[in-house]
Amino acid sequence: MEKADRKTVQALKAHLALNVRNVEQSLEFYRKMLGLEPSKVRAGYAKFDVQNPPLNLTLNQAPFGERGALSHLGIQVASTEDVLATREKWADAGLITRDEMQTNCCYALQDKTWVNDPDGNEWEVFVVLEDNLTETAACCGIDATEKVEAQTSSCATVDPASASHTAPVSCCSSPVETVAIGSVR
The pLDDT score that the predictor gives to residue 40 is 93
**Domain residues of the chain, as ranges?**
3-61, 73-179
CATH architecture for the domain at 73-179: Roll (3.10)
The pLDDT score that the predictor gives to residue 8 is 75
Q: How confident is the model at residue 9 (pLDDT cuts 50, 70, 90)?
A: low
CATH number of 3-61: 3.10.180.10
- Whether 3-61 shares its CATH topology with 73-179 is answered yes
48-57, 88-97, 126-135: lowest mean pLDDT where? Answer: 126-135
The pLDDT score that the predictor gives to residue 147 is 34
61-70, 84-93, 95-104, 129-138: lowest mean pLDDT where? Answer: 129-138
The pLDDT score that the predictor gives to residue 114 is 96
Contact at 8 Å (CB) between 175 and 158?
Answer: yes
Mean pLDDT in residue range 79-108:
93
Mean pLDDT in residue range 9-34:
89
The 8 Å CB, 24+ separation contacts for 26-34 are 26/59, 26/117, 26/118, 26/119, 27/59, 29/95, 29/117, 29/118, 30/57, 30/59, 30/117, 32/90, 32/93, 32/94, 32/95, 33/90, 33/93, 33/95, 33/115, 33/117, 33/123
Contact at 8 Å (CB) between 129 and 111?
Answer: yes
Distance, CA of 63 to CA of 69 (rounded, Å): 15
Whether 95 has a pLDDT exceeding 80, the answer reads yes
Reported as a single tens digit per residue, the pLDDT across 30-79 is 999 999 999 999 999 999 999 999 999 999 998 887 766 677 898 999 99
Mean pLDDT in residue range 13-22:
90
pTM over cut 0.75: no
